[in-house]
Amino acid sequence: MERVFPSMTDTTEPAPKSGTFVVTHADENNAVLRDVETAQVHTLSSNPDFDEHDVIEATVAPERPMGVAWEVADLVDRRTVDVIDSDLSPTTHERDLADDLAVGDLETVERAGTGEIHVLSVPPEDVEAAAADVVDDVETVARAARLDAVRVEVRRDGAEGVLSVRYLPD
């Protein structure tokens, strides 16, 4: 059986990539960006003053000579998505949607205008933990970035086991 190994002289490096990214990690030395469409991760060799959960529209390019780390070649936009753990209850419409769901199911509806509302049916005893998971999950910010939302509002009703996540535009 013959083994084939990649050539050590192969100098092909990744091409620059333009897109929307969420910052999944940031410290004084580096930052990690995740493409909100493909989930591809790009580790930056330095941190250009990004904070975790920032949404970045940029072109990133491999840093020479090795092409292992990345750098921001062109920053087009930087914004923050506010994820609010609201003390408001889900709306009547959201509760009605939840009535038709089995525990563990999710209903996604377009919001009047722009944005989306996700309604989840969870066991009443798990509502607080589920809300905390949604608030802390970087995927909540990534989904908001894909929807061009700037605010995410998490509402819950512990007695009925209803959780709503509202992705809101400007």
CB of 73 within 8 A of CB of 61?
A: yes
| 164 and 116 assigned to the same domain | yes
Q: CA 90 to CA 71: how far, in whole Å?
A: 42
**Which residues form the domain of 34?**
17-80
129 in a domain, yes or no? yes
| 120 and 64 assigned to the same domain | no
| 89 and 164 assigned to the same domain | yes
B/e letters for 80-107, b = 16+ CB within 10 Å, e = fewer, are ebebeeeeebbeeebeebbeebeeeeee
| 87 and 147 assigned to the same domain | yes
| 108 and 65 assigned to the same domain | no
pLDDT digits (tens, 9 = 90+) for 17-69: 999 999 999 999 999 999 999 999 999 999 999 999 999 999 999 988 777 89
| Selection from 88, 95, 94, 161 nearest residue 125 by Cα | 161
Residue 112: predicted pLDDT? 78
| 51 and 76 assigned to the same domain | yes
Amino acid letter, 16: P
| Selection from 40, 50, 39 nearest residue 72 by Cα | 50
pTM, full prediction: 0.84
Residue 8 has pLDDT above 70, yes or no: no
CB of 59 within 8 A of CB of 33?
A: no
pLDDT digits (tens, 9 = 90+) for 99-137: 999 999 999 999 877 889 999 999 999 999 999 999 999
12 in a domain, yes or no? no
Q: CA 160 to CA 156: how far, in whole Å?
A: 9
61, 80, 99 - which closes a domain: 80
CATH number of the domain enclosing 55:
2.40.50
